[in-house]
Amino acid sequence: MSFKKDLILLLKPYYSINILLSLSYILCKKVPFLCGILFPGSYPQCELDTRESEILFFLIIVVMMKTKKSGSVTMINYLTSSFIYNKVANMILWFYADVRMGIIFSVICIFFAMVFPEPTYSGPDKVVYFRTAAGLEEQLERDRRVTWLVVFYAAWNPACVTFAPTFAELSAEYGLENLKFGKIDVGRYPDAAKKYNVNDSSMSRQLPTLILFKDGKEVTRRPGFDNKGKVIKFFFSGDNVKASFDLNNLYNECKSNPLKKKKPLTERTEMTETVNNHVKSE
């Protein structure tokens, strides 16, 4: 089902255009007609020289390391995480071939980035956004019967961006009055990162961090730490989150114990007066 969804997403202009931009230099080098026009000095061989091969090899290594670090586990995640590095590498190759073509390629990338931005999740969600650590703390203390699953993220972090639609889908699927989903941007509110021990630096391996709160206290977090205090890598797929936080059982438990709404003060007062009047009449 996930693979089918990925194939449908690939039909959107953002992905097809970025795939073409990511492969632009190699395609122009390998297609004889384009090579003859753009690289007349190389035609008809049109082979990559040593420097071009080194740049492409370095690109492959960077993409593999970055996507692995970000926890990308689907085809779309890999593509999205690699687009920026692919386009930068192609830009270097075009400038290496001809400064004019490098400038043209840069302008094309900027144009398509403005006209066809990355598609964002537009489905239903039940996510509460917190603005400060105090706001989150207040919600946790307001009603300890409510279980909270909160993600600490940064808008500039690729792994957080990749995880956003997954978290939204989980909130729509499992959200209840006593099982709520929240988000707080530690990039904008670093006090939250400090309070809940989340490293928010550009080299952090803790973004995103997902914490489960029960009775107002933290009970589980991902990624966690080993005995030496090192971060244990965690892949933020929907299935991994469900398994790590036991969401199915947690959902059933919360659903079978719904919150009992307190009666408004005026209603309780009227009931008390009715009882007192009944006692007096006897």
Residues 6 and 55 in one domain: yes
**Pair 80, 70: CB distance under 8 Å:** no
Residues 91 and 150 in one domain: no
Evaluate whether residue 264 is within a structural domain. Answer: no
Task: Let me know how long the chain is.
Answer: 282
Residues 111 and 159 in one domain: no
**What's the mean pLDDT in 153-168?**
86
pTM of the model: 0.68
pLDDT of res. 160: 86
Evaluate whether residue 140 is within a structural domain. Answer: yes
pLDDT of res. 163: 87
SS3 category, 73: coil
**Pair 126, 181: CB distance under 8 Å:** yes
**What's the mean pLDDT in 14-34?**
89
Helix ranges (H only) for 120-261 are 133-142, 158-174, 190-195, 238-244, 247-256
pLDDT of res. 263: 55
Evaluate whether residue 220 is within a structural domain. Answer: yes
Residues 97 and 178 in one domain: no
Residues 95 and 148 in one domain: no
Average confidence score pLDDT of the chain = 83
**Pair 167, 157: CB distance under 8 Å:** no
Residues 142 and 201 in one domain: yes
Total number of domains in the chain: 2
Residues 67 and 150 in one domain: no
Residues 217 and 250 in one domain: yes
Question: Does the pLDDT of residue 249 top 90, yes or no?
Answer: yes
Residues 156 and 251 in one domain: yes
Residues 213 and 234 in one domain: yes
Residues 107 and 132 in one domain: no
**What are phi and psi for residue 180, nearest 5 degrees?**
-115, 155
pLDDT of res. 278: 47
Evaluate whether residue 166 is within a structural domain. Answer: yes
Residues 133 and 110 in one domain: no
Evaluate whether residue 276 is within a structural domain. Answer: no
Of the pLDDT bands very low, low, confident and very high (cuts 50, 70, 90), residue 44 is: low
259 vs 183, residue with greater confidence = 183
Looking up residue 173, the CATH number of its domain turns out to be 3.40.30.10
**Pair 112, 19: CB distance under 8 Å:** no
Long-range Cβ contacts of 116-124 (<8 Å, 24+ apart): 116/13, 116/14, 116/17, 117/14, 118/14, 118/80, 119/9, 119/12, 119/14, 120/164, 120/165, 121/164, 121/165, 121/168, 121/169, 123/165, 123/168, 123/169, 123/172, 124/168, 124/172
Evaluate whether residue 275 is within a structural domain. Answer: no
- The residue written with tokens 């490293």 in the block is 199
* Range in 223-232, 257-266, 271-280 the model is least confident about: 271-280
Evaluate whether residue 280 is within a structural domain. Answer: no
Evaluate whether residue 281 is within a structural domain. Answer: no
pLDDT of res. 131: 87
The CA-based dihedral angle spanning residues 75, 76, 79, 82, taken in that order and rounded to the nearest 10 degrees = -110
pLDDT of res. 261: 65
pLDDT of res. 128: 93
pLDDT of res. 74: 65
**Pair 211, 220: CB distance under 8 Å:** yes
Full residue range of the structural domain in which residue 24 is found: 2-115
* Range in 76-90, 92-106, 255-269 the model is least confident about: 255-269
Number of H helices, E strands in the chain: 12, 5
- The residue written with tokens 């403005």 in the block is 114
* Range in 21-25, 75-79, 185-189, 239-243 the model is least confident about: 75-79
- The residue written with tokens 């689907």 in the block is 74
